[in-house]
Amino acid sequence: MATLEIRDLHVSVDTENGPKQILRGVDLTIAGGQTHAIMGPNGSGKSTLAYSIAGHPKYNVTSGTVTLDGEDVLDMSVDERARAGLFLAMQYPVEVPGVSVANFLRTAKTAIDGEAPKLRTWVKDVNKALADLDMDADFGTRNVNEGFSGGEKKRHEIVQLELLNPKVAILDETDSGLDIDALRIVSEGVNRFAGQGDKGVLLITHYTRILRYIKPDFVHVFVDGRVAEEGGPELAEELEANGYERFLKAGAK
């Protein structure tokens, strides 16, 4: 069982006016088999948390620890983190001109597994993963995310999630910008992944809508760079009814 443990994480970014503190002591433990939802208003630091775990060079960890099954994640390069079993579905997936989806997926799979996938089953796996996310097989010949619609980019992230099959998936607003059909298709993909039983999911979202399709075991309200309140699914229902008002007032004190 994989466990991702975040302890007292402080993160800043460099700005023209010096470092700006964004995360102010995040504590979070995601054990295998659990789905955690992080909900918070815009600018509260949700993407910063996701990127910091994945190792984006823009974010400086000033204190705290992140471990995956006891291994120091912060000491790893971005690609080592992915090979250790972390996956980040990005809020804004990046276009890579001239690199085909097929080449990209095969290169990534080879890197993660340490060996090239068996050609025959691999082609089948890719086509199935694409079909499961309602993407045409000829996406394989397109360049990575280039000219994809917003929804196609998000579905492509979940295709990668299913093919690379990490230990822990962090999904940064994968639901944002999706219409209801795409939301359902993406959610089914996440549920297939989580349904394997031993996987951890950290579902970052701004809206409660996706929680109708993906049932979290824990809900964390994220305000001003830290977890302001934790609870079960009932916390999401409260947010659905009342919004972030109560937490924003608390955060502003």
Partner 1 sequence: MSSSDTLVATGNKAHSHGPGSPVPLQARSERPTSYDVADFAVPNGREEEWRFTPVRQLKALFEDAAGTETPKVDASGPEGVVFETVAADSLKVGKPQDRSAAVAWNHAGDAFAVRIPVEAELTEPVHVNVASLGARGFSHLIIESGRHSKAIVIIDHSGSGELGSNVEIVVGDGSDLRVVSIQQGDHESIHLGQHDAVVGRDAKLHHVAVTLGGKIVRIGTNVRYAGPGGDAELLGVYFAEGGQHHENRLFVDHEATNCKSNVLYKGALAGDHARSVWIGDVLIRAAAEGTDTFELNRNLVLTDGARADSVPNLEIETGEIEGAGHASATGRFDDEQLFYLQARGIPEDAARRLVVSGFFNDIIGKIGVPEVTEHLHEVIEEKLARAAELSTSAKAVIGQ
Interacting residue ranges for ligand ADP, rule: CB under 6 A: 13, 15, 20, 22, 40, 42-48
97 binds, among Mg ion, partner 1, ligand ADP, none (CB under 5 to 8 A by kind): partner 1
Residue type, 40: G
Please spell the DSSP secondary structure of 90-144, one letter per residue.
-SSPPPEEEEEHHHHHHHHHHHHHSSPPPHHHHHHHHHHHHHHTT--GGGGGSEE
Complex with ligand ADP: residue 86 or 130, whichever CB lies closer: 86
DSSP for 166-202, please give it: -SEEEEESTTTT--HHHHHHHHHHHHHHHTTSS-EEE
Asked if 13 touches partner 1 (CB under 8 A), the answer is no
Among 34, 44, 47, 160, binds Mg ion (CB under 5 A): 47
Residue 78 interacts with, from Mg ion, partner 1, ligand ADP, none (CB under 5-8 Å by kind): partner 1
- CA–CA distances in Å: residue 193 to residues 43, 87, 171, 197: 28, 12, 12, 8
User: Is position 76 an interface residue for partner 1 (rule: CB under 8 A)?
Assistant: no
* Identified binder of partner 1 from the candidate list 31, 61, 74, 108, rule CB under 8 A: 108
Instruction: Build a one-symbol-per-residue string for 49-68: x at contacts with partner 1 by CB under 8 A, - elsewhere.
Output: -----xxxx-----------
The angle subtended at Cα 66 by Cα 60 and Cα 80, nearest 5°, is 80
Query: Residues in contact with partner 1, total (CB under 8 A)?
Result: 30
Reference 43, options 67, 13, 19, 63; nearest CA is 13
Q: Minimum distance between the CB of residue 57 and partner 1, rounded to whole angstroms?
A: 7
Is 142 a binding residue for partner 1 by CB under 8 A? The answer is no
Structural element, H or E, at residue 251: helix 245-252
What would the two tokens of residue 71 be? Answer: 């291994």
Regarding 174 and contact with Mg ion (CB under 5 A), the answer is no
CB under 8 A: which stretch of 21-29, 83-91, 122-130, 227-235 binds partner 1? 83-91
Residues that bind partner 1 (CB under 8 A): 54-57, 77-79, 81-83, 87-88, 90, 93-99, 103-104, 107-108, 111-112, 143-144, 160, 164
